[in-house]
Amino acid sequence: MLHWMLKQLSQLTSKNKLSILIYHQVFAQKDPMRPSEPDAAEFDWQMKLLKDHFNPLPLSEAITLLKMNRLPANSVCVTFDDGYVNNLTVAQPILAKYEIPATVYVATGFSQGGNMWNDRLIDLIGNSSLSEFNLSTLQLPSENVTDITSRRELAYKLIPLIKYQDYQQRIAIIDQLYADNQADEVANKMMNPAQIKQLAETGVEIGAHTVDHPILASQSAEQQHQQINQSKQQLEQWLQQPVVGFAYPNGKPVEDYPLSAVEIVKQAGLDYAVSTSWGISTPQSDMFQLNRFTPWDKSPLKFHLRMVRNMLP
């Protein structure tokens, strides 16, 4: 009943307002080091809720309708950043079950092996065979972790210290942390080119997300140009079809990407780009800086309420 009322409310208020949801990973079972990422059961009820009470659309189609002022009420698009294998193995079957279109933005530099620096850090600190961590490369004293909570706290304390370093510097720091703690790397988490193609063949749109996932704001114009164009061209070569969408790594305007990067995206022949600025998009929005948000709520009613509240004037 409450869901029905929320649906009627947003039916009246959400015409020409596009909600774009961001996901990263969907785990088969909950990952205690990444508690905010949904598992299959959570993602299943979320997609069912979108199917029952919203109007899920392919993002390219939603943007075309939005530009024409013809986007239906309750429109929603589902997106994933980075290109994790579990997008194909766990999320895609659930998307297919509810016939929900989706877009996955792939950082192509990880498609031939290797994990992203933040995952490598989280998995290092989450490695249950280690309990004392040598952090001398970060000029920090060693830390002892006793349980999953202290592991999580340590990992999420270290991430901001590394995030805004140059991407090659980030890799060097993580390599050193692994060496100093004699730790083994975990298996590759990102899709390889064959898996990206397989996902595309199920109808999921593939978009570009740079090569190395750098903070574009900390790069030269030439580096930004190369990161943006090369990821698009590489995906087009793997997929043998045009790639029209782009997601800025980290995605906060100015802080993570400069306005000059928006121009580079336009010149690269991309049709649209998504940021991580919180909110909905309207026909007046910059189609090269569309807002997105992450519905983190763990109950269907709160999740629904947040979706509707975002669309209110």
List residues binding Zn ion (CB under 5 A): 81-82, 249
Whether 55 and 101 have beta carbons less than 8 Å apart is answered as: no
Q: Please list the helix, strand and coil fractions of the chain in percent, rounded to the nearest 5, in that order.
A: 45, 15, 40
Of the candidates 46, 134, 136, the residue with the CA atom closest to the CA atom of residue 91: 46
When the beta carbons of 19 and 79 are compared against Zn ion, the nearer one is 79
Closest CB to Zn ion among residues 71, 155 = 155
Q: Taking the complex as a whole, how short is the minimal distance between the CB of residue 217 and Zn ion, in angstroms? A: 14
CB of 250 to Zn ion, least distance (A): 7
3-class SS at 29?
A: coil
Decide: 101 and 77 in contact? Cβ < 8 Å. Answer: yes
Closer CB to Zn ion, residue 90 or residue 216? Answer: 216
CB neighbours of 68 closer than 8 A, spacing ≥ 6? none
Q: Which is nearer to Zn ion, 270 or 308 (CB)?
A: 270
- Minimum gap (Å) between residue 174 Cβ and Zn ion: 16
Least separation in angstroms between residue 131's CB and Zn ion is 30
**Single-letter residue type at 126:** G
Please identify, using beta-carbon distances, which residue of 75 and 295 lies nearer to Zn ion. Answer: 295
CB-count exposure of residue 107 (10 Å: 0-12, 13-18, 19+): buried
* Least Å from the CB of residue 249 to Zn ion: 5
Q: Nearer Cβ to Zn ion, position 82 or 119? A: 82
Contact call for residues 83 and 204 (beta carbons, < 8 A): no
CB of 185 to Zn ion, least distance (A): 20
Longest distance between any two alpha carbons in the chain, whole Å: 59
Nearer to Zn ion, 80 or 303 (CB): 80
What is the C-alpha separation between 72 and 268, in angstroms, rounded? 30
Q: How far is the CB of 241 from Zn ion (least distance, A)?
A: 22
Q: Which helix (H) or strand (E) holds 105?
A: strand 102-106
DSSP state of 88: I
Residue 247 CB, nearest approach to Zn ion (Å): 7
CA-to-CA distance for 178 and 155, rounded, in angstroms? 14
Residues 6 or more apart whose CB falls under 8 angstroms from that of 294 comprise 21, 22, 23
Of 16 and 250, nearer to Zn ion (C-beta) is 250
Task: Specify whether the backbone of 299 is left (phi greater than 0), alpha (psi in -120 to 50) or beta.
Answer: beta
Nearer to Zn ion, 82 or 271 (CB): 82
Work out how close the CB of 209 gets to Zn ion at its nearest, in angstroms, rounded to a whole number: 6
Residue 122 CB partners (closer than 8 Å, separation 6+): 33, 34, 155, 159
